[in-house]
Amino acid sequence: MKTIIEKIENIKTDHQIIRRAGEILLSGGTVAFPTETVYGLGANALDPSSIKKIFKAKGRPSDNPLIVHIADLADIDSLVSKIPPIAKTLMEHFWPGALTLIFSKSSKVPYEITGGLDTVAIRFPVHPIAQEIIKAAGVPIAAPSANLSGKPSPTKAAHVIEDLKGKVDMIVDGGAASIGLESTVLDITGKIPMILRPGGVTKEMLETVVGPILMDPALSQGQEQDFIPKAPGMKYKHYAPVAEVKVVMGEINAVTEKIQELTKKNKGNLKIGIMATDQTRSSYDEINALVISVGDRLHPETIANHLFDALRWFDEQKVDLIYAEGIQEVQMGIAIMNRLIKAAGYQTIFAESKGGENK
């Protein structure tokens, strides 16, 4: 299949690219486009045969439901069977933006999108290119992240091209995603809203607006699963580069020492990558490994922004093993650690602090 690749420099003057994308979507094709979280792979959400093309291009299991994207609040009415009062408040505060809400679906939404569930996930992205493409198509757009299933989500058009060129009709390049992690998925069909996937909008941000929010208990468990995640997609291995990833957690000095020690043990037979932070990068100056800083610990949004790109970069460098520093699991750190631990296939190492040193 030939994939049209177009770059949008200016949304006003490049309108013919938007129009083309809209036509392809409306005629049943697939178009990858930027959103503020990650790139999405879109198709007409109301047409089962278009939706099937998404699953095929990504190699995605068919029981993993897709998010329906809209570009106008009024579009939600025909997609859901009821809008709970709390949804109205959430939509007012966080839409358009990085929050996906789960509603009871209307009969208009095909089961191919929902993986057979009676609920539907809906998001109104803020990215102008995403909005314009959805409007140009004139139908709601189903769009999972535009990566091959299991790989890190794409935050740049180059990532999409690497994964999906030749498998989709069009890729629209709109530059790098500003958030870099997927949206927060929030189920509002129960009594108390529950986060099924942590993301761009944090629990604290939601609680300020609507009070207590639950986290799906499946999010805080290791690989031994007692709870089945309520978002079907969260049960799959995910975000994984080809290289093996190990996350080293603990107090910051203990973490850097542990990574130094582990790297020194390698007798040169493995190519090692270290995913450090601005605060720790120089601790590895003497270490025989490929070191990058993924961002600033004091501004976790910078880490969110570069995480997936960093994982893909290590693959390009043909690294065998990546030691990634853990970060504090608060606010945006919760979503970052959720992705990182999954990328590691739950391989975590705890670095003990040496007694008293840092007191």
Q: Which residues bind ligand TXA (CB under 6 A)?
A: 35, 37-38, 40, 64-67, 100, 102, 114, 117, 119-121, 123, 143-145, 182-183, 185, 196-197, 230-234
Euclidean distance between CA atoms 243 and 240, whole angstroms: 8
Q: Are 116 and 66 in contact (CB under 8 A)?
A: no
Minimum distance of Mg ion from residue 194's CB (angstroms): 19
Minimum distance of ligand TXA from residue 126's CB (angstroms): 11
Euclidean distance between CA atoms 71 and 131, whole angstroms: 5
Residue (5 or 218) nearer to ligand TXA, CB: 218
Among ligand TXA, Mg ion, none, the one that 185 touches (CB under a kind-dependent 5 to 8 A) is ligand TXA
Would you call the peptide bond into 96 cis, given omega within 30 degrees of 0 as the criterion? yes
Residue (38 or 87) nearer to ligand TXA, CB: 38
- By CB under 5 A, tell whether 100 contacts Mg ion: no
Question: Which residue's CB atom is positioned nearest to ligand TXA?
Answer: 233
Residue 141 is encoded by which pair of tokens? 């757009």
Residue (102 or 248) nearer to ligand TXA, CB: 102
- By CB under 5 A, tell whether 145 contacts Mg ion: yes
Among Mg ion, ligand TXA, none, the one that 38 touches (CB under a kind-dependent 5 to 8 A) is ligand TXA
Q: Are 29 and 170 in contact (CB under 8 A)?
A: yes
- Residue type, position 153, single letter: S
Among Mg ion, ligand TXA, none, the one that 30 touches (CB under a kind-dependent 5 to 8 A) is none
Minimum distance of ligand TXA from residue 359's CB (angstroms): 41
At residue 134, what are phi and psi to the nearest 5 degrees? -65, -45
How does 210-235 read in b/e, with b if 16+ C-beta sit within 10 Å? beebeebebbeeeeeeeeebbbbbbe
At residue 289, what are phi and psi to the nearest 5 degrees? -160, 165
Minimum distance of Mg ion from residue 144's CB (angstroms): 5
Residue 288 is encoded by which pair of tokens? 């025989």
Among Mg ion, ligand TXA, none, the one that 151 touches (CB under a kind-dependent 5 to 8 A) is none
Residue (100 or 277) nearer to ligand TXA, CB: 100
- By CB under 5 A, tell whether 184 contacts Mg ion: no
Euclidean distance between CA atoms 259 and 42, whole angstroms: 40
Residue (218 or 349) nearer to ligand TXA, CB: 218
Sheet of 184-187, strand order: 4-7, 170-173, 31-33, 40-44, 141-142, 67-69, 119-123, 99-104, 184-187, 194-197, 214-215
Minimum distance of Mg ion from residue 177's CB (angstroms): 13
Residue 182 is encoded by which pair of tokens? 């997927």
Q: Are 307 and 180 in contact (CB under 8 A)?
A: yes
Minimum distance of ligand TXA from residue 81's CB (angstroms): 13
Among ligand TXA, Mg ion, none, the one that 100 touches (CB under a kind-dependent 5 to 8 A) is ligand TXA
Residue (203 or 297) nearer to ligand TXA, CB: 203
Among Mg ion, ligand TXA, none, the one that 64 touches (CB under a kind-dependent 5 to 8 A) is ligand TXA
Minimum distance of Mg ion from residue 230's CB (angstroms): 16
Minimum distance of ligand TXA from residue 265's CB (angstroms): 37
Q: Are 64 and 232 in contact (CB under 8 A)?
A: yes
The residue ranges that bind Mg ion (CB under 5 A) are 145
